[in-house]
């Protein structure tokens, strides 16, 4: 039995535009110049308070970052509901999820810096809720690259890290996987360069969602 753990933002769905739009409003409200889109993409995958602190150039989460995090969460649904930015799934991902869900030797999970509510919205809006056996979010575990998201999913599913594959687009995903003792598969369609994924310890980097199936079948 193999456990396949997907990151969400930048791997399953393209949410950079939405995250950036909310970041812009959050920073402007606190009197800061808004971050660039490139800067926002670079922190996607971290838990929100750490992400905001890093965008501020801080090495730790302080009271201001915590307050900005609360504001971000408060306005997120309104910005999302306005339709100004979306969380569109990447082409080919739905087919990969459906194929893996049909296998009796694979369990699917999610490991994400999103909140539990945010992940549930993605799973429900795409009809994936029943396909994901296990998940860990920013509400459950320390921020990536800490290995807890992976190890807790392994413990819950009864599958060892050695039989687990983590699929993600960020260096934090690769680092988390390796720290947990799992395989790390980078995807090129997210927010991190292929070179950065290799440098972060990726065992493989794929260019299309369908390529993931070939790798998982080899395991």
The residue among 5, 2, 3 whose CA lies nearest residue 111 is 5
What does the alpha-carbon distance between residue 126 and residue 92 come to, in Å, rounded to a whole number? 13
Same structural domain, 158 and 98 = yes
Same structural domain, 142 and 213 = yes
The residue among 163, 161, 189, 191 whose CA lies nearest residue 176 is 161
Segment 131-157, tens digit of pLDDT: 999 999 999 999 999 999 999 999 999
Same structural domain, 111 and 182 = yes
Task: List all residues 6 or more positions away from 43 whose beta carbon is below 8 Å from its beta carbon.
Answer: 50, 51, 54, 55
**Cα angle value 30/34/40 (rounded, 5°):** 115
Same structural domain, 93 and 172 = yes
CATH number at residue 35: 1.10.150
CATH number at residue 9: 3.40.50.1000
Of 27-31, 34-38, 114-118, 213-217, the one with minimum mean pLDDT is 213-217
Same structural domain, 121 and 74 = no
Query: Residue 137, SS3?
Result: coil
What does the alpha-carbon distance between residue 182 and residue 174 come to, in Å, rounded to a whole number? 9
> What was the pLDDT predicted at 219?
47
> What was the pLDDT predicted at 207?
96
Domain boundary among 35, 52, 82: 82
The residue among 122, 97, 41, 45 whose CA lies nearest residue 209 is 97
Same structural domain, 67 and 99 = no
The domain tally of the chain equals 2
- Mean pLDDT over the full length of the chain: 95
- Asked whether the beta carbons of 140 and 149 are under 8 A apart, the reply is yes
Task: List all residues 6 or more positions away from 214 whose beta carbon is below 8 Å from its beta carbon.
Answer: none
Same structural domain, 70 and 51 = yes
> What was the pLDDT predicted at 84?
67
Same structural domain, 101 and 31 = no
| Domain assignment of residue 46, given as a range | 16-82
Segment 164-213, tens digit of pLDDT: 999 999 999 999 999 999 999 999 999 999 999 999 999 999 999 999 99
Label residue 81 by pLDDT band (50, 70, 90). Answer: confident
Same structural domain, 52 and 151 = no
Strand partners, 110: 6, 135
Does the structure show a pLDDT above 50 at 64?
Answer: yes
Same structural domain, 74 and 113 = no
Does the structure show a pLDDT above 50 at 5?
Answer: yes
Dump strand ranges (E) for 7-160.
13-14, 88-89, 106-111, 132-136
Does the structure show a pLDDT above 60 at 87?
Answer: yes
Same structural domain, 59 and 7 = no
What does the alpha-carbon distance between residue 174 and residue 144 come to, in Å, rounded to a whole number? 9
Domain boundary among 82, 114, 131: 82
Same structural domain, 205 and 107 = yes
What does the alpha-carbon distance between residue 97 and residue 186 come to, in Å, rounded to a whole number? 16
């Amino acid at each position: 039995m193999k456990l396949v753990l997907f990151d969400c933002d930048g791997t399953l769905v393209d949410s950079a535009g939405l995250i950036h739009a909310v970041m812009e409003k959050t920073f402007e409200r606190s009197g800061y110049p808004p971050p660039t889109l490139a800067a926002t993409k670079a922190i996607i995958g971290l838990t929100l308070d750490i992400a905001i602190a890093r965008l501020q150039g801080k090495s730790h989460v302080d009271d201001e970052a915590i307050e900005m995090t609360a504001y971000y969460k408060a306005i997120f649904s309104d910005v999302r509901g306005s339709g100004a930015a979306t969380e569109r799934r990447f082409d080919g991902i739905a087919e990969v999820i459906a194929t893996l869900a049909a296998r009796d030797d694979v369990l699917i999970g999610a490991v994400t810096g999103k909140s539990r509510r945010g992940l549930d919205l993605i799973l429900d809006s795409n009809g994936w809720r029943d396909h994901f056996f296990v998940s860990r979010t920013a509400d459950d575990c320390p921020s990536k690259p800490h290995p807890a998201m992976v190890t807790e999913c392994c413990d819950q599913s009864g599958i060892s890290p050695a039989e687990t594959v983590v699929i993600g687009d960020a260096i934090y995903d690769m680092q988390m996987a390796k720290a947990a003792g799992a395989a790390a598969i980078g995807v090129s369609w997210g927010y991190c360069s292929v070179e950065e994924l290799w440098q972060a310890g990726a065992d493989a980097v794929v260019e299309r969602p369908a390529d993931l199936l070939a790798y998982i079948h080899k395991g």
